[in-house]
Structure 1
Amino acid sequence: MPRYKYEGRDTSGKKSGVITSSSKRDALEKLKKEGIRVTLLNEVPETLLTKEIIIGNPVKLQDYVIFLRQFSTLLQAGVSVVDATKILAEQTSSKVLRRVLLEVEEDLRAGNPLSSAASKHKKIFSPMFINMMRAGEAGGNMDEILDRLAIHYEKQNKTKQKIQSALAYPIVVGIVAIGVIIFLLTAVVPTFVSMFEGFNAELPAITKFVLASSEFMQSFWYVVILLFVGIYVGFLVLKSNKKTKYYLDYAALKVPIFGKMIQKAVLARMTRTLSSLFSSSVPILQALSIVESVVENEVIVRVLRESRDSLERGRSITAPMKKHWAFPPLVTQMIAIGEETGVLDAMLAKVADFYEEEVENSTDKLKSLIEPLMILFLASIVGTIVTSILVPMFEIFNQIQ
C-alpha cells in the first residue's frame, strides 16, 4: 500500500511524518480526522522492502466478476460512475482492487473518463475492459457493456475451472506417486540391503535395478530435486520466448487426449472475446489485436495476426483460418456467414457456446477415464518395487526349507 510523507499543523503546532493509505485523498481524510491541517503531502517512492509483492493475478477472477456485476447494477440504478466506483471500493474484499478503485475515483473526480483512468492500471484492467469502456462511453451504454463483460468473464472462469479440475487429478496423483517412490527407495528398500548381501544367489534384474535406484536416491537426492527445479525453470524460460513458446503451444495442441480439449478451450476463449468486443462496437482490427493478447496460444495468435493483415488488405478474415489445421470448418464457416450477413458477433457467440459445452463434456469424460488409469499407474509403480523385494525373499525362504 502507498506511503505518504506529510507536513502540517494541529493545535499543538507543526506536525510531520509518514502515513500509509490506499490513495492520496484517503490519506488527506485520515489526517483531517486526526486534526491535522496538511500543507504538504507527497508519495514516498517504493523500495524493495516496502513494495507490495503480488504473485499471480493481482485480482481474483471471481472478485473481478462481482465488481463488474455490481458496477453494472449501480449504473442501471442511476448512480453516477464516480459514486459507483467509491461504493465498490468500500465494499470489495480485494485489497488490491480497493486501492486501484480509489485511485480511479480520484481521476474521475478530476474529470477524466473511466477508460482513461483504468488504462493507468493495466495489471488490473485488461485492454479488453479499457476498449469496451471507451466504446460504452461513446455509445452511452456502459451498464450494458459492464454486464456483457461480467457474462464474458463468468463463462471464461467456468471453462478455466473445468480444465483445471480435469488436470488436477493426474497432477495430484503424479505428485503422490513421486512421494511414494521416494519414501520406498529411501526408507523401506535400504532395510533389505543387508539381507540381500548375505544371499549368495544371483538377484533378479528388477531387484538389482531397485537397489541401485535406492542407493542413488540416498547418495544423490539433491540431484533429483535440482532436476525437477531445472525442468520447471527451463519450461518457464522457453515459455517466455515467443519462438520457443510457439513450439510448446503447438505440442500442447497435438498431445493425445488433452490436445483436443485445449484446442476447444482456446477457440472458445477466442470466439467469446471477439463476440464481446464486436457487440460493444469495438473496431474489428482493434478487436483482433486485443484477442491476440488474450488467447495466450502462439499458434492461434499467429493465425489471428494473419487474419488482421488479410482484413487490412481488404480480404476476408477467414482466409488464413481456412488454411490452418487448428481452425475446424465449424469456426471458419460460422465466421464467414457472420461476415456476409452482418451478424458476426452473434455467430461468434454461438461458436463460443458450442465449444464451451464441448470443453465441459470433454473434461467430464476425461476425469472418468483418467481416475482408473492413474490408480493403475500408481499401483504398478508400488507393485514393481514391492515385487523386487518379495521375489528374492521367497527364494531365501525356499533355500531355508
Structure 2
Amino acid sequence: MPTFDYRADDARGRPCKGRLEADSPRHARQLMRERGLWPRTLREVGTGDGANTQPRGGRLKAAELALLTLQLSTLVQAGLPLEEALEAVAKQSARRRVAGLLSAVRSRVMEGHALATALGQFPKAFPELFRATVAAGERSGHLGHVLEQLAAYTQARQASRQKIQMALVYPLILMLASVAIVGFLLGYVVPDVVKIFVDSGQPLPWLTRALIGVSDALRNHGLLLIGALASLVGFWRWSLRQPTLRLRWHHLVLNIPLIGEVLRAMEAARFASTLAILGKSAVPLVDALEIAAAVIGNLTIRARMVDVARSVREGGTLTRGLEQSGDIPPMMLHMIASGERAGELDRMLARAAEQQESSLAARIALVVSLFEPAMLVLMGGVVLLIVMAILLPILSLNQLVN
C-alpha cells in the first residue's frame, strides 16, 4: 500500500503534517477528511524513502518473531480479518523496524496476495520454515491454530538457544581472563623480576631462559602475533563463504571428538522438531523433509538429509532413509520408526526432539562442568611454571652465597 506525506489544516485551522497509508491519493484525502483534516498538499513517498526499504534487508530476532506470531495467531483465532490483525500487531509493536515490516506485509495482503506470498518478499525476516508453515495453514483453513503452533516452536527454539549460550558464558569469560592474566605476567611482571638475575651474570636454569624467551617474543612481536591471529580469523571467515571450503570445514568439524557428537545431536534435534511442526501443519512429508533439511546448518548433514528426502520421494520409508544417513541417534530412530508404524509420526517426532534436546542440554552441562576445572588447573599450571622460573634463580643465588 502506498504511503503519503501530507500537509493539512485541522478543524481549528491550524497547519499540521504527517504520513498515512492509503490505496490511492483519493483514498488518502478521504481518510484525512474522516480525521477532520483539510488537505493542502499530498505527496506519495517514493520506494526509496522512509521505512519501505528498511524491512527488506532487516532481520527479526527469534524473540520478536515469536511475539508477533503469537499476537497474530490470537487475533486471527478471535475472528479478526487478516489485514486488520496485521495492522493491530504493527501498531502494538514498540520497534519501528518491526512495525514497518508488518505494514509492508499488510500492504501486499491488501493487494490480494496470500500471507505466505507476502512474507516471501522478506526472506531474511521470515525463514523458509515459517513461510511454508503459514502456507500450509492457509491451505487448510486453520491459520490461527498453525500460527499458535509456530509461535510455540519459535519460543522453544529461542529458549534452547539461550540455555546453550548461558552455559558457555562462564567458561568463555574464564578462558579470556586466564589468557589476559598470563599475558600480563609474561609481558610486564616477568621481565622486571628476571632482569636482576640476568644482570648478575650467573647461568640461569633452562626454565628461566625459556620464560625469558617467551616474554621477549611477546613484548617484541606482540603486535605481529595479534595481526597474524586477526589474519587467520579473517581467512577462516572468508573460507566459510566459499562453498567448497565451507563443505570441507563442516565435514572436518563432524570428525572432531566430542564436538562432532554434540553438533550431530544439535542438528538431529533441530531436524526432528522442524519436521514435527511441519507435519502438524499438514505439510506433505517430502516437502517437509526438504524444508527441514534446509534448516540444518551443517552442510554435510544437510546433503545427507536431502538424500533422505529423495529416497522418500522415490517410495522408501523415512526410518530407512534416516538410518542410512547415520546422523540420527538410535533412540530417535526407534521412536520415529514406532511413530511411522502407528501413524503418529508427528507426535513421535516432537517427543524425539524434546528428548534429544534434553539429552543435549545434559551433555553440554557435563562438558561445561569439566571445562571449568580444566581451565583452572591449566591456569594454575602456567602460573606455577612462571613462579618456578623465578624461584629457581633465587635458590641458585642463595646456594652461591652460602
**Cα distance between partner residues in 2 of 1:171 and 1:148:** 35
TM (normalized to structure 1)?
0.85
Residue of structure 1 in register with 2:44 after alignment: 41
Summarize deviations over 1:78-136 as a string: whole Å, max 9, x none: 22221221121122234322210111122222222211111111111111111111111
Residue of structure 1 in register with 2:219 after alignment: 218
Give the deviation of 1:348 after TM superposition. 1.0
5 Å-filtered alignment, 1:175-324, equals 175-324=176-325
Residue of structure 1 in register with 2:155 after alignment: 154
Structure 1 residue 58 corresponds to structure 2 residue 62: no
Structure 1 residue 169 corresponds to structure 2 residue 170: yes
CA contact (8 A) 1:69 1:146 kept: yes
**Cα distance between partner residues in 2 of 1:283 and 1:100:** 29
1:43 counterpart SS class: coil
1:372 counterpart SS class: helix
Change (3 A) 1:246 1:321: farther
**Cα distance between partner residues in 1 of 2:195 and 2:80:** 80
Residue of structure 2 in register with 1:120 after alignment: 121
2:46 counterpart SS class: strand
Summarize deviations over 1:189-231 as a string: whole Å, max 9, x none: 2212431222323222222222112111112122221222123
**Cα distance between partner residues in 2 of 1:46 and 1:376:** 58
Change (3 A) 1:9 1:349: closer
CA contact (8 A) 2:186 2:218 kept: yes
Give the deviation of 1:268 after TM superposition. 0.7
**Cα distance between partner residues in 1 of 2:316 and 2:339:** 15
Query: Which deviates further from its counterpart, 342-351 or 242-251?
Result: 242-251
CA contact (8 A) 2:171 2:368 kept: no
Residue of structure 2 in register with 1:392 after alignment: 393
2:112 counterpart SS class: coil
Give the deviation of 1:329 after TM superposition. 2.4
CA contact (8 A) 2:86 2:106 kept: yes
Count, aligned residues? 386
Structure 1 residue 100 corresponds to structure 2 residue 71: no
- In the alignment, structure 1 segments of 5+ residues that lack a partner are 12-18
Residue of structure 2 in register with 1:371 after alignment: 372
Query: Which deviates further from its counterpart, 263-272 or 196-205?
Result: 196-205
**Cα distance between partner residues in 1 of 2:306 and 2:87:** 39
Change (3 A) 1:223 1:54: farther
- In the alignment, structure 2 segments of 5+ residues that lack a partner are 10-16
Give the deviation of 1:35 after TM superposition. 6.5
Change (3 A) 1:351 1:308: same
Summarize deviations over 1:298-350 as a string: whole Å, max 9, x none: 22211111111212322223334323432222233333333333322112112
1:275 counterpart SS class: helix
**Cα distance between partner residues in 2 of 1:371 and 1:41:** 60
Residue of structure 1 in register with 2:383 after alignment: 382
Give the deviation of 1:38 after TM superposition. 4.5
Change (3 A) 1:356 1:38: farther
Summarize deviations over 1:152-182 as a string: whole Å, max 9, x none: 1122122222222333333222222221222
Change (3 A) 1:72 1:203: same
Give the deviation of 1:54 after TM superposition. 11
Give the deviation of 1:39 after TM superposition. 4.3
Give the deviation of 1:145 after TM superposition. 0.7
**Cα distance between partner residues in 1 of 2:320 and 2:210:** 56
Root-mean-square deviation (CA, aligned residues, Å) is 3.2
CA contact (8 A) 2:194 2:390 kept: no
**Cα distance between partner residues in 2 of 1:391 and 1:54:** 66
Residue of structure 2 in register with 1:338 after alignment: 339
**Cα distance between partner residues in 1 of 2:249 and 2:131:** 30
